[in-house]
Chain A
Amino acid sequence: DTAVSQTPKYLVTQMGNDKSIKCEQNLGHDTMYWYKQDSKKFLKIMFSYNNKELIINETVPNRFSPKSPDKAHLNLHINSLELGDSAVYFCASSQTRTSGGAGETQYFGPGTRLLVL
């Protein structure tokens, strides 16, 4: 069984459209993330949710809105898509320790390849 899954795997759309990417994890983790990997392969965190609460928002445009209906899901909705949004989007999850420490291992999904035309 896939630990972190994303749908769709590929998404081709026109500029100006609104689209959503779904992420689900079956690891029982309480923290989920969205990362963006651009055309130069640079991977950068966008958001993090812990128990459905937003804890990291890395100056992402307001057109991006994450939604977490429950601990196992973190969806990414993008309004008014722009050419620069073309990238691979990765979802990840981890189990957060309240005592801090090394930081828990993050498990990544396979990615959603978004192409905006």
Chain B
Amino acid sequence: DAKTTQPNSMESNEEEPVHLPCNHSTISGTDYIHWYRQLPSQGPEYVIHGLTSNVNNRMASLAIAEDRKSSTLILHRATLRDAAVYYCILRAFGNEKLTFGTGTRLTIIP
């Protein structure tokens, strides 16, 4: 799987939007962009995924650059419960394996 690069940590104020960036300059045409997060002392949980178009779900939005070499996970209104490590993962077509990087530790400031 191609590699992703994320900032080690970010901070955001509660109730404000959060933009978590991910660079994946070596992405291939059939790689899907997945985001998972890991809350403290819990297992990872799925957030969102996409291929080319921007995606929205009840948890977040995913904005994918036109050249697909970067993406941004958007939390529209961060709460304290969103404090977690966020992982951006590239997943090849049909590949069931998740390859986690170091992720971004998001701290929410009350």
Contacts and interface: CB of A to CB of B under 8 A. Distances in A.
A56 interface: yes
A110 B45 CA distance: 10
SS of B interface (majority): loop
Contacts of A105: 46
A48 B85 contact: no
Given A108-B45, A109-B43, A111-B43, A101 B93 contact: yes
Interface in B71-110: 85, 87, 91, 93-100, 102
Contacts, number: 60
Nearest to B34: A103
Interface in B16-73: 32, 34, 38, 41-46, 49, 51
Given A56-B96, A106-B98, 16 more contacts: A4-B43, A43-B38, A43-B44, A45-B97, A56-B97, A90-B43, A92-B44, A102-B34, A103-B34, A103-B94, A103-B95, A104-B96, A105-B46, A107-B46, A109-B43, A111-B43
9 contacts: A41-B102, A92-B43, A94-B96, A100-B93, A102-B91, A103-B32, A103-B96, A103-B98, A107-B45
